[in-house]
Amino acid sequence: MDSLSDYIWAELFALGFGLFGWLTSFSSLKKARLIEDTPTSKIRSAPQGYVEIIGTTERNPEAGPIIARLTGSPCVWYSFEIEKYERRGKHSSWRTIEKEASKAPIILNDGTGICFVHPDKADITPNFKKVWYGGSRYPTSTASGGLFNRRYRYTEQRIHAGELLYALGHYETLHPPSMEAQTAAAKKEIVLEWKRDYDSMVARFDRNGDGEIDLKEWKNVGIAARKAAEKQVRDNYDHTPINVMTYSPVRRQPYLISTHDPKDLSRKYRWRFMGLGLLGIVCTLGFIYLLPGTLQAWHNMP
């Protein structure tokens, strides 16, 4: 390196990657320790708050089928990324042009109950991951194109029904609204529905025949709507609580979802800790090694 700018760019490169290595390595170690130290809770008796649960994934019949975007495969969660290979002068790289992940909660059943695990903001590590190449923005098949047909790179990850699921996050049991609250909400919906067919409502509740509904008649509308709402809620009321797991509001508590066995997942994070820690050490030593040259170049400036 001959100029001060060369030294500065090298120093910034080493400093940036060094900081990235140190910060992400300790984050990985923290995740590994949490997996190892957090006891597994059963859904039936899990405390409210930050917990670990392990079970099996199930399809949600009410949500309908979830279909992976690139391959059309049925699953309970997916994510995909489409990258385009670009050349700029002497440099070339893959640029992400589209990425997405499904938002529907994943049903986890541990034999004592079910929990709706929301994937938003989670660090998700599924077993299934497929990477292949093609010549168009969207893949026409799941097989990679030939050597000269690799302009686009596709990555898809999926979680399937029946897989083991590990989840570490904020657990909460939500109780449905009371019958009174549901009745009040149902009454409003019923009145709004009647208003959409105003002529029929007038024919039903206009007692004095003036073609309008006065205050006294509106009171009768309310009484009739209340009775209809009470019957509707009584016939359909479900007081079953719903268990959900979401991103923890406490920033130091990571949200993890994985189809790996917890021991394997912990081992994965520990390997990541060592690899990123090594990157941090190498870049820090590089920064220290380049520092005298930077200072000398600075000193030699005219």
Residues 56 and 105 both lie in one domain: yes
Give pLDDT, residue 92: 84
Per-residue pLDDT of 37-53, as tens digits, reads 889 999 999 999 999 99
Domain that holds residue 213: 179-236
At 7-45, the pLDDT tens digits run 566 666 666 766 766 677 777 778 888 888 889 999 999
Q: What rounded mean pLDDT belongs to the chain?
A: 84
Report which of 232, 147, 151 is spatially closest to residue 188, judged by C-alpha positions. Answer: 232
User: Is residue 59 located within the same domain as residue 208?
Assistant: no
d(CA 229, CA 188): 9
> Does residue 117 or residue 234 have the better pLDDT?
117
For residue 261 the two structure tokens come to 């066995």
What is each CA distance from 10 to 2, 21, 276, 281, 286, in whole angstroms? 12, 16, 19, 16, 9
- Residue-wise burial string across 241-270, b where 16 or more C-beta atoms lie within 10 A, e elsewhere: eebbbbbbeeeebbbbbbbbebeebbebbb
Together in a domain, 207 and 140: no
Boundary residue ending a domain (219, 236, 253):
236
My answer on whether 98 and 39 are in the same domain is yes
Same domain flag for 69 and 198? no
Range 66-73 average pLDDT: 94
> Considering the entire predicted model, what is its pTM?
0.70
Q: How many folded domains does the chain comprise?
A: 2
278 confidence band (pLDDT: 50, 70, 90): confident
Residues 198, 260: one domain?
no
Q: List the structure tokens of 143.
A: 């097989």
Confidence of residue 294 (pLDDT cuts 50, 70, 90): low
Measured distance CA(40)–CA(215) in Å, rounded: 60
In terms of domains, do 98 and 170 share one? yes
Instruction: State which of 187, 208, 236 marks the end of a domain.
Output: 236
How confident is residue 99, by pLDDT bands cut at 50, 70 and 90? very high
DSSP state of 111: S
Q: Do 20 and 97 belong to one domain?
A: yes
Do 87 and 207 lie in one domain? The reply is no
